[in-house]
């Protein structure tokens, strides 16, 4: 139970900072395209990595509820959305 709570708190941290997620995904994907797929052209490698990272990054949406505005974060890697106050 404690491990799942730590995992959820890490996901909330990452979901709240999509710019950090996009940056990390981009760097990892550039390295993958360079080392594994051997794509030589840096513009193509960076373009593919940035577009794929933006597609996989978390999405924020403002939702109005009876208790006030909340931020809903959906992510491809999560089954349920995360709600931030």
What crossing angle do the helices spanning 2-15 and 18-35 adopt, rounded to 10°?
90
Collapsed DSSP state (helix, strand, coil) of residue 68: strand
Q: Can you give the pTM of this predicted structure?
A: 0.68
- In the predicted model, is pLDDT for residue 84 greater than 80? no
pLDDT digit string, tens, across residues 9-21: 776 777 677 788 8
User: CA-to-CA distance for 5 and 62, rounded, in angstroms?
Assistant: 24
């Amino acid at each position: 139970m404690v491990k799942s709570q730590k995992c959820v708190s890490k996901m909330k941290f990452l979901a709240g900072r999509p710019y950090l997620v996009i940056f990390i995904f981009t760097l990892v994907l550039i390295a993958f395209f360079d080392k594994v797929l051997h794509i030589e052209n840096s513009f193509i490698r960076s373009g593919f990595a940035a577009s794929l990272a933006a597609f996989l990054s978390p999405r924020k949406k403002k939702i109005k509820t009876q208790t006030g505005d909340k931020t809903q974060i959906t992510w491809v890697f999560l089954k349920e959305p995360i709600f931030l106050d």
